[in-house]
């Protein structure tokens, strides 16, 4: 008679090995109904526990704890990683830290790890020395020999440019916000790549610093004769600021100006008009990180071939965008 294992019970119940293990060991993380169902099937199959059930292999998932701008994205990634790890029979060790010593200790105790965010070069060097599989979600150097899962920032910028052109807009601004975030720069490159080929299009980049407001940039543009009708913002938080400021200045949205965000986070549908934006599939990014790490652990990928995985974004159309109006938008007086 074949030996009854956790895998046998998982196949019979349609649950993951993780859920079966937690149910039989009395640990939390599963519902009472699931625990009862697993125990009944285990008894029916004659499963006998031989001492303590060995713990599932661990994967580390480490988030950079000072990158607060991306906190909502990181929570989506965390959820996707948890769900995928359960399916594949892993448990996760999660930390929010950027300390190299702490990260090295976590990874040493795991089969491999996912690093989320702008971790530094010292951290990567230490982890490479451990010889454990590492998957990154964050920006790499050109042709850096590392596995990576990310989005499609450059493509997204180009797609938004084409979208606004199709609506008839010919004076377009990219609202960049605080400099230093690589993804925002890639979106800018994507927009510029499309718009610089259009002879009749005016394009301007607005970079914010802590002491400079959006309205001051807009007044400066108007003073130079540049009157934008569309604003693509580097993230949804900036888009909310732009919508708020334009409404305060007497603009109608989208009649006088269209606004596009990036991310499709919760705030995008909590304003009026609701925000047209580019959706980033954070949960799928987290799941892809775990799948790629599992491929490394199981030896499905040649060890000398780094892999890049991209999760494609999507434009979500809502009420903040519309065709370019033939009516002149408000002209702001020059102050000072």
Q: Domains of the chain by range and CATH?
A: 6-45 (no CATH), 58-146+282-311 (3.40.50.2300), 153-276 (3.40.50.2300)
Structure tokens at 326: 């033939």
Given a cut of 70, the residues of the chain with pLDDT beneath it are: 1-2, 29, 49-54, 179, 209-212, 326-336
Residues 262 and 55: beta-carbon distance below 8 Å: no
pLDDT tens digits, 221-233? 999 999 999 999 9
pLDDT score of 56: 84
Packing angle, helices 71-88 and 282-297, rounded to 10: 40
Distance CA 289, CA 79 (A): 12
Residue in the block written with tokens 């959820």: 79
Question: What local confidence, expressed as pLDDT, does residue 63 receive?
Answer: 94
Task: Work out the burial of residue 103: count CB atoms within 10 Å of its CB; fewer than 13 is exposed, 13-18 middle, 19 or more buried.
Answer: buried
Measured distance CA(143)–CA(296) in Å, rounded: 19
Question: For the segment 252-274, what is each residue's pLDDT rounded down to a tens digit?
Answer: 999 999 999 999 999 999 999 99
**pLDDT reported for residue 51:** 47
Q: Tell me the pTM.
A: 0.81
Asked if 34 and 53 count as a contact pair (C-beta separation under 8 A), the reply is no
pLDDT for position 329: 66
Q: What is the reported pLDDT for 212?
A: 62
């Amino acid at each position: 008679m074949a030996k009854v294992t956790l895998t046998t019970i998982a196949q019979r119940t349609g649950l993951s090995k993780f859920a079966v293990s937690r149910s039989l060991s009395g640990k939390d993380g599963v519902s009472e109904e699931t625990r009862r169902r697993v125990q009944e099937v285990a008894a029916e199959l004659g499963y006998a526990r031989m001492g303590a059930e060995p713990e599932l292999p661990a994967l580390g998932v480490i988030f950079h704890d000072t990158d607060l701008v991306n906190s909502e994205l990181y929570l989506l990634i965390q959820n996707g990683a948890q769900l995928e790890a359960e399916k594949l029979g892993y448990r996760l060790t999660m930390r929010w830290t950027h300390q190299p010593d702490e990260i090295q200790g976590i990874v040493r105790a795991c089969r491999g790890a996912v690093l989320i965010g702008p971790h530094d070069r010292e951290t990567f060097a230490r982890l490479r020395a451990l010889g454990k599989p590492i998957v990154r979600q964050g920006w790499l150097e050109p042709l850096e020999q590392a596995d990576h899962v990310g989005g499609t920032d450059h493509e997204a910028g180009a797609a938004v440019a084409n979208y606004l052109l199709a609506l008839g807009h010919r004076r377009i601004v990219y609202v960049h916000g605080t400099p230093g975030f690589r993804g925002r720069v890639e979106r800018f490159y994507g927009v510029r790549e499309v718009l610089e080929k259009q002879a009749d299009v005016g394009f301007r980049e607005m970079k914010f610093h802590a002491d400079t407001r959006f309205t001051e940039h807009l007044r400066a543009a108007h003073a130079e004769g540049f009157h934008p009708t569309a604003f693509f913002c580097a993230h949804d938080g900036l888009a909310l600021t732009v919508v708020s400021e334009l409404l305060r200045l007497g603009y109608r949205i989208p009649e006088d100006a269209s606004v596009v965000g990036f991310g499709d986070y919760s705030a995008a549908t909590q304003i009026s008009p609701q925000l047209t934006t580019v959706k980033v599939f954070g949960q799928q990014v987290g799941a892809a990180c775990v799948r790629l790490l599992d491929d490394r652990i199981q030896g499905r990928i040649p060890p000398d071939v780094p892999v890049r995985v991209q999760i494609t974004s999507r434009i979500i159309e809502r009420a903040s965008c519309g065709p370019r109006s033939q009516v002149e938008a408000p002209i702001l007086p020059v102050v000072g």
